[in-house]
Amino acid sequence: MFKLLGILWNSFRMAVQELRVNKLRTFLSLFGITIGIFCIIGCSKNDSITVIPTTPTAGTTTAITTIDAYAAIKLAFGSNIDLTNLENYANQDKPAYILKNNLGNNAITDKTATLGRVLFYDKNLSINNTISCASCHKQNFAFGDTALVSAGVEGGLTIRHSMRLINTRFANEAKFFWNERAANLNIQTTMPIEDHLEMGFSGENGDLSFDDLIVKLENIPYYPVLFSNAFGTETITEDRIQQVLAQFVRSIQSFDSKYDEGRMLVANNNQPFPNFSALENLGKNLFTQPPVFNNTGMRINGGVGCAGCHQAPEFDVDPNSLNNGVIGTIGLLGTDLTNTRAPSLRDLVKQNENA
């Protein structure tokens, strides 16, 4: 519009100049042309575009193709994943007495946790397609391993025991691994992928790197669909992989133990549980009560104070529990004094049952 006024103004100025030399005809024609252009451009603004319909030739048929955006998912997972009706990860029930919440700023949604679950079980996350997170974190053993140490890619063995991944969300402790070397769960999740012993995308000594993994995932048909479903765009980044794996891990929860059945029936943890035997209630007291010592340092009463570090009712480990005094060994490397984190004590035994 400003341009048009400029043209008008210019032609008016020209016309005025020309008027001075009495070329009125030139002025009128120039003015007329300019007004004309103004009209054409101005009017065309509100004009709708007329599309002339083409009449189909008799005898031809028009094929209607329906593009199924989720075809790659159906092909890979059949009816196990229905993107239009996802499993509930975000709003699972938990008992009212469970108060801790270690979500950080990574809230769980069903879309993102679904992608996390697919990644967790996908052997494509290892350099030779043999190992997934679930190879060492076995669902029917509370997402831990029965072996003392676990086998990674090309026969490499982990240095420590694979931890159960139960109730990581319901803890005060935000650091991960036995020695807490992962500052948070997001950071932890891609460490096994980049570990040369575990999944192998280390980028060292000729191994493929994490960037190579991203390219690999981009070329697996279901990942662009899943990333797009989770984040709105197909882009695959390490940050996104961390977010969704952490969400899936945090969605693994377990509150159906005999302890929970009892805890639900009483007002607080110190009361005897009606569903416990006398010995079980005694064990509970020993676990939860701090010891009472005499002046020579002998325990004369109270409990044994396990709950000082393994806090009930979540049974998560206190972030300040430090070394528990039980000295283990790291593989063949020698004495390990650095173990300061325990998984929740839930599902420690009979992991594959409901008890």
- Which range in 83-91, 97-105, 231-239, 334-342 contacts ligand HEC by CB under 6 A? 334-342
- Is residue 95 a contact partner of residue 264, using CB atoms and an 8 Å limit? yes
176 scored as a contact of ligand HEC (CB under 6 A): yes
CA distances from 353 to 93, 114, 141, 243, 346 (A): 19, 24, 9, 30, 12
321 scored as a contact of ligand HEC (CB under 6 A): yes
# chain residues binding ligand HEC, by CB under 6 A: 45
DSSP string of 120-148? HT-GGGSTTS---HHHHSBGGGTTB-SSS
- Which range in 59-67, 175-183, 220-228, 261-269 contacts ligand HEC by CB under 6 A? 175-183
- Which is closer to ligand HEC, CB of 47 or CB of 353? 353
Binding to ligand HEC (CB under 6 A) within 139-158 occurs at 150, 152, 158
DSSP string of 68-84? -TTHHHHHHHTTS--TT
- Which range in 35-43, 68-76, 176-184, 227-235 contacts ligand HEC by CB under 6 A? 176-184
Binding to ligand HEC (CB under 6 A) within 295-314 occurs at 304-306, 308-310
214 scored as a contact of ligand HEC (CB under 6 A): no
- Asked if omega into 313 is within 30° of 0 (cis), the reply is yes
- Is residue 106 a contact partner of residue 120, using CB atoms and an 8 Å limit? no
340 scored as a contact of ligand HEC (CB under 6 A): yes
343 scored as a contact of ligand HEC (CB under 6 A): yes
Say how many CA atoms lie within 13 Å of 243 toward its Cβ.
16
- Is residue 329 a contact partner of residue 159, using CB atoms and an 8 Å limit? no
- Which is closer to ligand HEC, CB of 98 or CB of 304? 304
328 scored as a contact of ligand HEC (CB under 6 A): yes
**Mind spelling out the 3-state secondary structure of 32-49?**
HHHHHHHHHHHHHCCCCC
- Which is closer to ligand HEC, CB of 15 or CB of 185? 185
- Is residue 106 a contact partner of residue 186, using CB atoms and an 8 Å limit? yes
Residues at the interface with ligand HEC (CB under 6 A)? 120, 125, 131, 133, 135-137, 150, 152, 158, 160-163, 165, 168, 176-178, 188-189, 192-193, 198-199, 245, 249, 304-306, 308-310, 317, 321, 324, 326, 328, 339-343, 345, 348
